[in-house]
A and B are shown apart, each in its own frame.
Chain A
């Protein structure tokens, strides 16, 4: 059982490193939002799953289940709110080349 918990913790740590690097390094609001929402959700949920398995059946596990259900509901909603705000303020998506209408 210890190996399963350690594997889940390592997975969560890997996704946390990748998500923070993406948020620090990517060039645009939308790409940063992509990295933040997916990697943040996956890393925190796998850490919580590892905590559940490490604790076993107790009163703590029920509270961790409630926290994880709330977290899985609210984090994509918050990401969608941020993306909608950026889209309504006319923030253009990043491109490697400028579109043809702007080049000429």
Chain B
């Protein structure tokens, strides 16, 4: 009984992982064809969030704790990257 529960859990985790991989093609298309730079930043933000979810799912499925550290560092670097792109391209704040 316990083994079938584990199999069902691993199957559902697999379904969620591959569906997230398939559906994030749409945000990659938005990154490629975005008319303005803000559209590309929106697609990048959503893509980073979904890669974070995929990393956590793979870590839970395979039982490797090291992938969670990778996911945390990826989240930090994604946020700092969005901040740096905004500062570099748009000169926000009271600097103008």
Query: Do B42 and A54 have beta carbons less than 8 Å apart?
Result: no
A 26-65 binary contact with B (CB < 8 Å = 1; else 0): 0001001100110011011001100100110001100110
- B39 → A minimal CB distance (Å): 6
CB pairs A–B below 8 angstroms (25 shown): A9-B15, A9-B16, A13-B19, A16-B19, A23-B26, A23-B27, A23-B42, A23-B43, A24-B30, A29-B36, A36-B42, A40-B49, A47-B56, A48-B56, A54-B9, A60-B59, A66-B72, A67-B56, A67-B68, A74-B75, A81-B83, A82-B38, A86-B36, A89-B38, A91-B38
Query: Do B52 and A67 have beta carbons less than 8 Å apart?
Result: yes
The count of residues in chain B whose C-beta lies closer than 8 Å to any C-beta of chain A is 45
